[in-house]
Amino acid sequence: MATAHVFIATSLDGFIARPDGDIDWLLQRDDANEDHGYADFIADKDLIVMGRGTYEKMLTLGPWTYDRPVLVLSKQLADAAVPEALQGKVRFSGSAPREVMDTLARQNVRRVYVDGGQLVQSFLRDGLVADMVITTVPVLLGSGRRLFGALSRDIDWTLLSSRSFPSGLVQSSYRQVP
């Protein structure tokens, strides 16, 4: 079985980006002297899945920095060719989250990092997220793209740990209650 894991930052009011996708408010508050644990988090992940929105945003941010294989879930990109510079690093798939996780398990992929708001919402709706590390940035934006979306039922979590940083970030780790 493959498990899905979330590591994401949000504003105090639950936005991961402004309405136009802008994340400058987040980057400006990212204190390079603080270790927010991404390296530890990614160390035991085999693969990253992301949606088209996140993929296209990452393309605009300069050189590809992911050191894990990336699977982009997008019906629109499913039949497209991967750009030459990203071959061997990126694959496209048009499958739904549950199907993707089953396929990955057969490929011996065990731990998957789910990146990007829309995709996190899809994985949550399907009950596929094993745990989440949520980092809350001390700013209210008032509008934007939400981390969490509609659900057909409550989802309960066990708090694993919580810590805060001098910059004002609060980072809490949750495991889904089965």
16, exposed or middle or buried, with CB in 10 Å at 0-12, 13-18, 19+? buried
DSSP 8-state class, residue 37:
S
Q: How far apart are CA 163 and CA 178, in angstroms?
A: 24
* Beta carbon of residue 173, minimum distance to its own copies (angstroms, whole number): 10
Edge-to-edge strand ranges of the sheet holding 90-93: 90-93, 70-73, 47-51, 111-115, 3-11, 129-137, 170-176
Q: Is 121 within 8 Å of 16 (Cβ atoms)?
A: no
Complex with its own copies: residue 83 or 142, whichever CB lies closer: 142
Binding site for its own copies (CB under 8 A): 12-14, 25, 124, 134, 136, 138-143, 147-159, 161-164, 168-170, 172, 174
Complex with its own copies: residue 17 or 47, whichever CB lies closer: 17
* Beta carbon of residue 134, minimum distance to its own copies (angstroms, whole number): 7
Say how many CA atoms lie within 13 Å of 92 toward its Cβ: 17
Residues in a beta bridge with 176: 157
User: Dihedral, CA atoms, 58, 60, 61, 64, nearest 10 degrees?
Assistant: 60
Q: How far apart are CA 154 and CA 74, in angstroms?
A: 27
Complex with its own copies: residue 110 or 175, whichever CB lies closer: 175
* Beta carbon of residue 27, minimum distance to its own copies (angstroms, whole number): 14
Complex with its own copies: residue 76 or 167, whichever CB lies closer: 167
Complex with its own copies: residue 76 or 162, whichever CB lies closer: 162
Complex with its own copies: residue 76 or 158, whichever CB lies closer: 158
* Beta carbon of residue 165, minimum distance to its own copies (angstroms, whole number): 8
* Beta carbon of residue 45, minimum distance to its own copies (angstroms, whole number): 22
* Beta carbon of residue 30, minimum distance to its own copies (angstroms, whole number): 15
